[in-house]
């Protein structure tokens, strides 16, 4: 329970909640019960706090990417990826939320560039394994939507139960949405 780890967790939480630019070192110091100078004693800069906050999540996601990029997208690899991805989203909700909300405004920050590269790798993998443009769009909505919903659970409203068994539900939904042959009744084609 070092001050170093505390500050990392506090900064991550504040960055995800209020945004990187809107979170001051003074605010982080107050939550930690320290002075701003002490925060800068443990971390060289505000950017160093950001990097320390989300790097573990990037490490994990890069391991997942390494495990799928060598193999084609079949039933087995799809199943493994989905469980890995869902567990990743559940384990790193704050980090995912921070990335989704701040990626555009922090494009010149090295650690955000690294995160953006991960998204590109993920998109490239599915792009090279899925032929239909519509399916690629559906896959993008599935992965992006899962990340977005997981990272902003308050969008479901406070009156709804927090979907306690969200892990199997997420696996179910993603398995449907990433199905190799999407179910698309002929009736739908006539609608558009």
Nearer to its own copies, 2 or 76 (CB): 76
Site membership for DNA, residue 108 (CB under 7 A): no
User: Which residues inside 10-49 make contact with DNA, applying CB under 7 A?
Assistant: 23-27, 34-38, 40-42, 44-47
User: Which residues inside 97-116 make contact with its own copies, applying CB under 8 A?
Assistant: 97, 100-102, 104-105
Write down the least CB distance from residue 59 to DNA, Å.
Answer: 23
| Ramachandran area for residue 109 (φ above 0: left; ψ -120 to 50: alpha; else beta) | beta
User: In terms of Cα–Cα distance, which of 152, 150, 124 is closest to 139?
Assistant: 124
Write down the least CB distance from residue 154 to DNA, Å.
Answer: 24
Whole-number Å distance between alpha carbons of 100 and 150:
11
Write down the least CB distance from residue 4 to its own copies, Å.
Answer: 26
Residue 168: CB atoms within 10 A of its CB come to 9
Partner from its own copies, DNA, none binding residue 192, C-beta < 5-8 Å depending on class: its own copies
**Contact, 103 vs 116, CB < 8 A?**
yes
| Alpha-helical runs (H) found in 70-183 | 75-91, 93-102, 110-129, 133-151, 166-177
Residue 41: CB atoms within 10 A of its CB come to 13
Quick one: tokens of 74? 């079949």
Nearer to DNA, 46 or 97 (CB): 46
Write down the least CB distance from residue 163 to its own copies, Å.
Answer: 6
Write down the least CB distance from residue 98 to DNA, Å.
Answer: 15
User: In terms of Cα–Cα distance, which of 86, 81, 89, 87 is closest to 64?
Assistant: 81
Whole-number Å distance between alpha carbons of 61 and 176:
22
User: Which residues inside 145-184 make contact with DNA, applying CB under 7 A?
Assistant: none
Site residues (CB under 7 A) for DNA?
A: 2-3, 23-27, 34-38, 40-42, 44-47
Site residues (CB under 8 A) for its own copies?
A: 16-19, 21-22, 79, 97, 100-102, 104-105, 119-120, 123-124, 127, 133-134, 136-138, 140-149, 152, 155-157, 160, 163, 166, 168-173, 175-177, 182-184, 188-189, 191-192
């Amino acid at each position: 329970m070092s001050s170093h780890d505390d500050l990392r967790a506090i900064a991550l939480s504040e960055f995800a909640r209020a945004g990187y630019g809107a979170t001051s070192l003074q605010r982080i110091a107050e939550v930690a019960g320290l002075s701003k100078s002490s925060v800068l004693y443990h971390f060289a800069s505000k950017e160093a706090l950001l990097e320390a906050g989300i790097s573990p999540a990037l490490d994990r996601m890069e391991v997942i990417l390494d495990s799928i990029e060598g193999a084609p997208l079949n039933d087995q690899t799809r199943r493994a990826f989905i469980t890995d991805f869902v567990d990743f989203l559940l384990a790193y909700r704050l980090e995912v939320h921070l990335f989704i909300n701040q990626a555009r405004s922090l494009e010149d920050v090295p650690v955000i560039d690294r995160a953006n590269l991960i998204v590109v790798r993920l998109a490239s993998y599915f792009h090279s394994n899925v032929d239909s443009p519509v399916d690629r769009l559906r896959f993008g909505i599935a992965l992006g939507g899962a990340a977005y919903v997981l990272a902003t659970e308050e969008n479901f409203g406070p009156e709804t139960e927090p979907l306690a068994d969200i892990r199997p539900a997420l696996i179910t939904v993603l398995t449907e949405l990433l199905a190799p042959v999407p179910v698309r009744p002929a009736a739908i084609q006539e609608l558009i």
